[in-house]
Amino acid sequence: MYPKNIVRGTSAEFIITVSGSKIVDPKISKLAGYKIDAVSTESFYHNINGTVNNGKKFKYRFMPEQSGKIEPIKFEVDGNEEFSDEVVFSVVEPTFKGNEPYSVQLSSQKNSYYLGETIKIDIKYRERDDAKVIERRYSDPTGENLLLKSKSVPKEKRDENGSFIEMSLYLNPQKEGLVTLNSAKMNIAIRGRDRDNWGFFFDNVKWNEIVSNSLNFNILPSPTLLVGNFKISATLDKNEINSGEAINLFIDIEGEGNLEDFQPFKLNLQDALVYADKPEYNSSINSNGKLISKLRNKFAVVLEKNITIPSFKIEFFNPVTKKIETQETAKFDIKVNERKIFQDEKNDVVNKNIDIKNDIKINYNIYLYVLLSFLAGIITSGIFMSFKNGKIREFISILKFTKRERELLQRILPYVGSNNEIREIAEKLSKKLNGDNSVKISFKDINKILKRLENENPNR
C-alpha cells in the first residue's frame, strides 16, 4: 500500500504480487468500499541460479475519503485459492507549515450555518517564486447537499514570500445535519531534468497534484423558508390613469440570502385585470465580498375605477440577529378618471383631445408585420398542417413564441377596458405567458382584433 497515510483528496496505490504459472484475475470494483479508478497488471519472470519465479503484479488505484481497511482478496492460483493480507490504512488532512513551495487552503467564517443561509468559502492558492510552476489546472471543491450559487473572479496578488491567488465560492446547504465540503485541487506542472539511457540530460515536465483541506459544517434547522437579510420596495409608473388604461407595478426584493427559493407574489384585485410577468432574478458580488440577490415581480394592472393596491410583506429569518423579521411595502391609492376610448362600432372616437388614428395605424402595421413574419418563419422551417378536403387546416395557434405574445399583450393593454373582444384576447395571452399551455389563440381571433382596430379608424 502506498502511501499508508493517505492525504485526503489524493489517490493511493494498492499493490498485490502473486506468484504462479496460472493466475485468474480477481473481478473486483471496490477497495474498502471505494471505487477503483484504475487497474493495471504486470507479468514477471525471474530465473536465478535455476530457480524460476513467475507471476503477476496487480496495481489498484483508488481514493478513500476516510481511514479503513482492505479485506483479504481471493485469487485462484494454479487451481488453488489464495488470499492477500488484510491492509489497514489512514486518511489524514493536509498540513500546512507555511514554507511549502505551493499549497491550497479552504476557509470559512464559521462551521455552523442555518438551512438556506449562504456559506462563503475562501480559497487561497500560494506558490513560492522558486517553485518554477509553468502551468496550473484547478478543480473546485465539491460536496453533497451543497449547491453552488456563485463564484468570484480569481485575483492574483503578491507578497514578500511569493504569489497567491484568491477566490470565493458561495454555497447553499440543502439539508440539515453534518455536511462536508471536499478538497479543492490544483494540478501544477513544473519543469524538471532527467537522464536518458546514454547519460544525457533532457528537460521534461512533471505534474504534481496539490489538495486542500476539507471543511465540515453543521447545518441547523431554520424557522422560515427565507433566510438572510432583505429589503422590499414597491413602485408604480403612475398613480392616476384614465379608465381602461394600465399601470405598471414593480415589487423589488434585495438582500443577502436564499432569495432563489422565494415564491413570487400573486396579486388578486376585484374589478381589475392583472397580468403578471415572469419574475426576474439575478445576483452579484458587491465590493465587500457579499453575494447580493435581487428579485423583481412586475404586474400590469388595468383599472376602470379607483382602487387601493395592498401592501406586500416578506418574512425571513436573520441568522445574525437570530430573529424572524418582516419587511412591508406601502399601499397605493390609484385614481381612475372616467374616459371612453371607443364608442359603438358605428361611431368614431369621441375623445377629441387625443388623436389615436396614427397610433392605431402604427400598431396595426406592427401587429400585421409580426404575424406575417411569424407565418413566413413557419413556412420556411417546414412546419405544415395536414390537408383536409383539399385545404390546409386553419392554424391552431399563431402565437408560439413568448416574445411575440408578450409584445402583442403590451400593445393591446391600453384598449382592454373599452372592448370585450380585446379584453378576452388579453386574458388568454396573460394565461399563456404564465404557463397555461391549454390556452389556444388562433389566427382568426387575432385577425378579428386587427380588423376591429381598422374599422374603428376607417380613415387610417
Average pLDDT over residues 390-417: 52
pLDDT in the model for residue 359: 46
Q: Which domain holds residue 370?
A: 357-456
For residue 205, what are the β-bridge partners? Answer: 191
Residue 145 predicted with pLDDT over 50? yes
Q: 373: which 3 cell numbers?
A: 413574419
What is residue 198's predicted lDDT score, i.e. its pLDDT?
66
| Better-predicted residue by pLDDT, 293 or 363 | 293
Q: 66 versus 359: which is more confidently predicted?
A: 66
Domain boundary among the residues 304, 337, 370 is at 337
Model confidence at 232, pLDDT cuts 50, 70, 90, reads very high
**Together in a domain, 279 and 180:** no
Question: Residue 223: is its pLDDT beyond 50?
Answer: yes
Q: How far apart are CA 294 and CA 285, in angstroms?
A: 11
Let me know whether 396 and 435 are in one domain: yes
Note whether residue 97 is domain-resident: no
Identify the residue with better confidence: 73 or 161: 73
Name the residue with higher pLDDT: 208 or 1. 208
Please indicate, yes or no, whether residues 404 and 301 belong to a single structural domain of this protein.
Answer: no
Boundary-marking domain end, from 197, 220, 243: 220
Residues 327 and 289 in one domain: yes
How do residues 50-62 score in pLDDT, each as one tens digit?
777 888 999 999 9
Amino acid 343: pLDDT: 43
Q: Is residue 265 located within the same domain as residue 241?
A: yes
| pLDDT at site 453 | 60
Looking at every residue in the chain, the average pLDDT score rounds to 80
Query: Residue 33 sits in a domain of what CATH number?
Result: 2.60.40
Look at residue 426 in the predicted model and tell me its pLDDT: 76
pLDDT beyond 80 at 213? yes
Closest C-alpha among 108, 253, 125, 106 to residue 173:
108
Pair (109, 166) in one structural domain: yes
Give the number of other Cβ atoms within 10 Å of residue 253's Cβ. 26
CA 108 – CA 215 distance, rounded (Å): 8
- Based on the fold, state whether residues 111 and 195 are members of the same structural domain: yes
All three cell numbers of 236: 408604480
Structural domain includes residue 346: no
Inform me whether the pLDDT recorded for 329 exceeds 90: yes
| Mean pLDDT to the nearest integer, 121-150 | 90
pLDDT computed for residue 204 by the predictor: 74
The reported pLDDT for the residue numbered 406 is: 67
The structure's pTM equals 0.64
Q: Clarify whether residues 298 and 384 are in a common domain.
A: no
Give the mean pLDDT of 35-41. 90
Residue 414: per-residue pLDDT:
64
109 with 216, same domain? Answer: yes
Look at residue 328 and tell me whether its pLDDT is greater than 60.
yes
Higher pLDDT, 279 or 96: 279
Residues 81, 124 share a domain: no
Asked whether the predicted pLDDT for residue 404 surpasses 70, the reply is: no
Within a domain: residue 349? no
What's the pLDDT band for 201 if we cut at 50, 70, 90?
low
Q: From the CB of residue 389, how many other CB atoms can be counted at a distance below 10 Å?
A: 5
Residue 364 lies in a domain: yes
Q: What are phi and psi of 422, to 5 degrees?
A: -65, -40
Q: How many residues does the chain have?
A: 460
Mean pLDDT of 328-335: 94
Domain boundary residue, one of 170, 192, 220: 220
348 within some domain: no
pLDDT of residue 411: 65
- State the pLDDT at residue 224: 95
Span 168-190, pLDDT tens digits: 999 999 999 999 999 999 888 88
Q: Indicate the pLDDT class of residue 200, thresholds 50, 70 and 90.
A: low
In a domain, 76, yes or no: yes
pLDDT tens for 405-456 read 666 776 667 666 566 777 777 777 777 766 677 777 776 777 677 666 666 6
In the predicted structure, residue 13 carries a pLDDT above the cut 80:
yes
Q: What is the mean pLDDT of residues 38-42?
A: 89
SS (H, E, C) the chain: CECCEEECCCCEEEEEEEECCCEECCCCCEECCEEEEEEEEEEEEEEECCEEEEEEEEEEEECCCCCEEECCCEEEECCEEEECCCEEEEEECCCCCCCCCEEEEEECCCCEEECCCCEEEEEEEEEEHHHCEEEEEEECCCCCCEEEEEECCCEEEEECCEEEEEEEEEEEECCCEEEEECCCEEEEEEEEEEECCCCCEEEEEEEEEEECCCEEEEEECCCCCCEEEEEEEEEECCCEEECCCEEEEEEEEEEEECHHHCCCCCCCCCCEEEEECCCEEEEEECCCCCEEEEEEEEEEEEECCCEEECCCEEEEEECCCCEEEEEECCCEEEEEECCCCCCCCCCCCCCCCCCCHHHHHHHHHHHHHHHHHHHHHHHHCCCCCCEECCEECCCCCCCCCHHHHHHHHHHHHHHCCCCHHHHHHHHHHHHHHCCCCCCCCCHHHHHHHHHHHHHHCCCC
Lowest mean pLDDT among 207-221, 243-257, 328-342, 418-432: 418-432
Residue 249 has pLDDT above 90, yes or no: yes
Higher pLDDT, 238 or 393: 238
Count structural domains, the chain.
4
Band of pLDDT at residue 206, cut at 50, 70 and 90: confident
Provide the pLDDT for residue 356.
Answer: 39
My answer on whether 308 and 382 are in the same domain is: no
* pLDDT at residue 92, as a whole number: 83
Asked whether the predicted pLDDT for residue 35 surpasses 50, the reply is yes
Q: What does the pLDDT read at residue 114?
A: 97
Looking at the fold, whether 194 and 120 belong to one and the same domain comes out as yes
Domain contains 350: no
β-pairing verdict for 307-309 and 332-337: antiparallel
Please check whether residue 345 lies inside any domain of the structure: no
Chain CA centroid to CA 371, Å? 35
Least confident of 95-109, 276-290, 292-306: 95-109
